[in-house]
Structure 1
Amino acid sequence: MRQREIIPAIIISAALLGLAACSSSPTGTAPERAVDRAAGTNISGAYPSQSDGTAVNPPGTAATRAYDRAADTNTSGAYPRQSDGTAVNPPGTAATRTYDRATDSNTSGAYPQNGPRR
């Protein structure tokens, strides 16, 4: 007789635990959360620490940040010290600065000592 009372109690307990687990699940769907974990984003809303502009995920996309690192630019906004006109990245492009050094010109604007900008 005791077994008849225990089995329904176990089933009811399992059902209540299942409902409790559902109500405390993070926001977003499982695929959205998987994308967030893999890409370091916060599309689902479950990972606010991965939102753009935080220390974990600076401004821009991973692609624009990779471009910025390779080209010494600030397209993404994550590398302000690499903006044009700073000591790290003077005016013009690397190609125009190379041209200016080779021809003693100031096409890029980085070499004012070479004369007026042409």
Structure 2
Amino acid sequence: MWIASKFGFFSIVAKKDGFHVRARVRQDLEQLMAAVNLAEPIQVWPEADYRYRVILIAQEIPLVFQALADSIDYNNFKDMIAETPAQGDKYGVYGQIWNIMYHFQEWNEQEEV
């Protein structure tokens, strides 16, 4: 699962040893773990596509989603990103993702006709 949030961009996957909450930027995981109030160590996997990760047990995952839900205090995601110092550098990237998905939506609707 990909998550773009006030705390950063994450990928969460289930593996044998737990749920890997992965990020491309260490600061994103630091902010998320602080919001969740978990002290799990941030691991660095230099050769992985997501270099930074924490491994959580199943009971901790709802805490992550609750913190993400509690952080939604804005009416426009991209504007909030632009105004958040720790996330502002992602504004252009999120805009590209928005644009690609918008064009996908338009293409998909044409296919449905």
- TM-score if structure 2 supplies the norm length? 0.22
Computing the radius of gyration from Cα coordinates, the structure with the larger value is 1
